[in-house]
Structure 1
Amino acid sequence: MSGNEAKPQLRGKVVLVAGATRGAGRAIAVEFGRAGATVYATGRSTRAKRSEIDRAETIEETAELVDAAGGKGIAVPTDHLDVGAVRDLVARIDKEQGRLDVLVNDIWGGEHLTEWDKPLWEMDLDKGFHMLRLAIDTHIITSHEALPLLIRNPGGLVVEITDGDEEFNTDYRDQFFYDLAKITPIRMAKALAKELQPHGGTAVSVTPGFLRSEQMLEHFGVTEETWRDAIPQSVHFGLSETPHYVARCIVALAADPEREKRWGGRGVASWTLAPAYGVRDLDGSQPRFMEYFKAIQAGGAEDDYAPYR
């Protein structure tokens, strides 16, 4: 895939996007649909019931967007902490499709639990452990139940979505539980790549850069059309990217027959994959957040972000 348009090179492939209600998960589901795949979109927010995050986006909307993009979207309400529910989900995919080619673990939902500017001993343990359950246990449960179906055919791919690549997550992420939540998927991908290799599959951890999710746009009081109006509030927002940027990178990764050799077991980012595959964001830009971040660390001007888009 290159430029702004995904080609239907994944028609016939079956994808499970776990955590597809909003943000990167929704965009990943849509871009796989644009590439012609059948996409199972899961999450806890439905038209009948909102999750604890209490936002309006639903998995039914995601499935409809997949259909509109040219794929087949199937919404399945799923709490990925419920082993039985995940087992039923995989059994349904097996019954309806007989295969699973890509598993994207994008479950998160821990923003409202993060207590910044506190040391561990001042934090709420219940909130901290719940964050880890949402960010880590859900991924483990889903992989445990889905991988027997994924390895039935060679070439399976697991994508672990996190925040920060291997290099970025070398440093402490300023909050004890958040740090653990975001470094663990990178290690999961490394472990799963080893375990999937004998079955002809692989795993990769992928992060977006500064993501312009629905929640982030609301935080700054802007829309996708007016997002640049928020740059005076946070100059780094000038390097932000739509969720479709990382989604297009992941579709390109999934379509790459050399992905195991190139990326297997690694923790990579949109700013790594986009140049490698010629992927661009919706506006035709190619944000390179890490280059900008390193330039700032080296004494560059924060408002000089334009060369990195």
Structure 2
Amino acid sequence: MSTLKGKVAVVTGASRGGGRGIALALGEAGATVYVTGRSTKNQATTDNLPGTIDETAESVTLRGGVGIPVRCDHTIDAEVEALFTKVKTEQGHLDLLVNNAWGGYENYYGTNFEDGVAFDAPFWEHSLQRWQTMFNAGVRAQLLTTRFAIPLMLPQNQGLIVCTTAWDRNKYLGNLYYDLAKNAVNRMAFGMARELEKYNIAAIALAPGFMRTERVMAAYNLQPFDLSNSESPEYIGRAIVALASDPDIMSKSGQVLAVGNLAWDYGFADIDGNQPPAFKIE
């Protein structure tokens, strides 16, 4: 269904994982999607994982949309500014921004980082570099990207900003740096919603469940684990298509939403026809 035909979207961190799944779902809905990330064809990819912005953009087009790859490091101000200058020049406006680029997972394999520290180890055992990466390539990158995106939404007095996050009813996420960073993203979406309300621009934090990303599957291939409660990266993409198609989206602005709950609310399913419930921490 071309429910988003004519709409222009930017999806950050879309070489692989959730970003790729989001871009593909938007393409299937007919949108023009600017696919950003650092992994490009003919070059080494992040942690040598499969997936590039070029491949994602090609798949977006094959799905029925228009995929446009733009290499962008979202920690570098000038590159982010250049991205939105390109969007403005080529499209004149922006309807949807999905802040998905994130740092902090680098060199994490199976259950440990390469230095042998487990993700859920006490905070004093983790390198402060994890904090730096999560807040610089995560929280700041999302704020920076939104800052340059907003001027393309203001003239049309409408738009949607989605910040991907991790969340389960405000439960602790098991890693202090990660918990602080993700809660900062949630609060950022809330604050953005307050300031953008008068411009009819919605801001939402959206939490997927346990996604079968390339990184997760690489870990699974090293040591199999239970995937029965997992979901495809396109499940969150279908949630975003539903949100972007909702004429009453402003009623959800400022909230932290879960993909599994939205599946029930909007009536969409994952690619296998199932509706995985919202992720819950035991």
2 CA distance for matches of 1:105 and 1:92? Answer: 18
Asked whether the equivalents of residues 160 and 206 of structure 1 are also in contact (C-alpha less than 8 Å), the reply is: yes
Letter of the 1:104 partner, please give it. V
Other-structure match for 1:118: 121
| Alpha-carbon separation, structure 1, partners of 2:120 and 2:218 | 23
Q: Structure 2 matches for 1:47-86, cutoff 5 A?
A: 47-86=41-80
Taking the aligned partners of 1:126 and 1:243, their CA distance within structure 2 comes to: 27
Residue of structure 1 equivalent to 2:110: none
Shift of 1:14: 0.4
Structure 2: gaps of 5 or more residues: 108-112
* Equivalent residue, structure 2, for 1:3: none
CA distance in 2, matches of 1:259, 1:275: 16
Letter in 2 for 1:218: A
Partner of 1:270: 259
TM-score (norm 1): 0.84
**If the length of structure 2 is used for normalisation, what is the TM-score?**
0.91
What are the Cα deviations for residues 234-261 of structure 1, in whole angstroms up to 9, with x where unaligned? 2xx2121101111101101100000111
Specify the code of the residue in structure 2 equivalent to 1:44.
R
Matched, 1:23 2:23: no
Q: Which of residues 224, 242, 247 in structure 2 aligns to 1:257? A: 247
- Contact 2:193/2:202 (<8 A) preserved: yes
Structure 2 CA distance for aligned equivalents of residues 124 and 130 of structure 1: 10
Name the CA distance, whole Å, in 2 between partners of 1:51 and 1:238.
29
Contact 1:210 1:289 survives alignment (8 Å): no
Deviations 1:245-296 (A, max 9, x none): 11101101100000111x1110011111100110101111001144xx48xx
Matched to 2:246, the amino acid is: D
1:136 match: secondary structure: helix
Output one character per residue of 1:138-180: Cα deviation in whole Å (capped at 9) or x when no partner: 1011011111112221220000001225x1xx22222121111
Aligned equivalent of 1:172:
172
Q: What code does the residue aligned with 2:221 have?
A: G
Quick one: which of 103, 107, 119 aligns to 2:101?
A: 107
**Count of aligned positions:** 273
* Match of residue 91 from structure 1: 85
Partner of residue 303, structure 1: none
2:234 is matched with: 244
Runs of 4+ more than 4 Å apart: none
What CA RMSD, in Å, does the superposition of the two structures yield over aligned residues? 1.9
Higher strand residue share: 2
Larger radius of gyration: 1
Does 2:177 correspond to 1:156? no
Within a 5 Å distance, the mapping from 1:87-236 to structure 2 comes to 87-112=81-106, 115=117, 116-165=119-168, 167=169, 170-221=170-221, 233-234=225-226
Percent of residue pairs identical: 40
Q: Name the aligned partner's letter for residue 141 of structure 2.
A: T
Contact 1:44 1:50 in 2 (8 A): no
- Matches of 2:73 and 2:206 in 1, distance apart? 22
Q: Which runs of 5+ in 1 are unaligned?
A: 1-6, 223-228, 298-309
SS of equivalent residue, structure 1 residue 221: helix
